[in-house]
Amino acid sequence: MFKIAVIGGPDTVIGFKALGLDTFPVREAEEAHKIFRDLTRPDRPDQYAVIYLEENLAEPLKADIARFKDSPSPAVILIPGKDGSLGLGQSALQAAVERAVGVNIL
């Protein structure tokens, strides 16, 4: 059975926990990197179909995230943190739509 994970600051992930998603509160990018690598291990018995990742943690994980750019699973989706959006999620969405459609429609 596929699952959904959320990696981010404690204030960001708490609402997702209320929805029943697997949450991984972190305080720094290195901690997020370890969790992301663990969640995306191919030999994991419980696979994640979607991983929501707080935008401010995405930059150090750029190479790891790129491995899944053209893969249907897991879908890595960048979300804004408690301080607001950095625009990374919007940029990633725009690039994905452009790859799928062939033109920027956003």
Who's near 73: CB < 8 A, 6+ residues apart? Answer: 2, 47, 48, 49
* Radius of gyration from C-alpha coordinates of the chain: 14
In 18-74, at which residue ranges do the beta strands (DSSP E only) sit? 22-25, 48-54
Q: How much is the pLDDT for 38?
A: 96
Residue among 60, 70, 71 at smallest CA distance from 7: 60
Alpha helices (H) along the chain = 10-18, 29-39, 62-66, 88-101
For residue range 14-64, what is the model confidence (pLDDT) as tens digits?
A: 989 999 999 999 999 999 999 999 999 989 888 999 999 998 898 888 889
Q: How much is the pLDDT for 84?
A: 54
Q: How much is the pLDDT for 89?
A: 47
Domain boundaries, the chain: 3-101
> Can you tell me the distance from the alpha carbon of 90 to that of 45, in angstroms, rounded to the nearest whole number?
32
Q: How much is the pLDDT for 72?
A: 78
Q: How much is the pLDDT for 5?
A: 95
pLDDT at residue 96 is higher than 70: no
pTM of the shown model: 0.78
More confident residue, 94 or 70: 70
Q: Which CATH class is domain 3-101?
A: alpha beta
Who's near 27: CB < 8 A, 6+ residues apart? Answer: 9, 10
Average confidence (pLDDT) over 92-98 = 52
For residue range 67-89, what is the model confidence (pLDDT) as tens digits?
A: 988 887 898 988 887 765 555 54
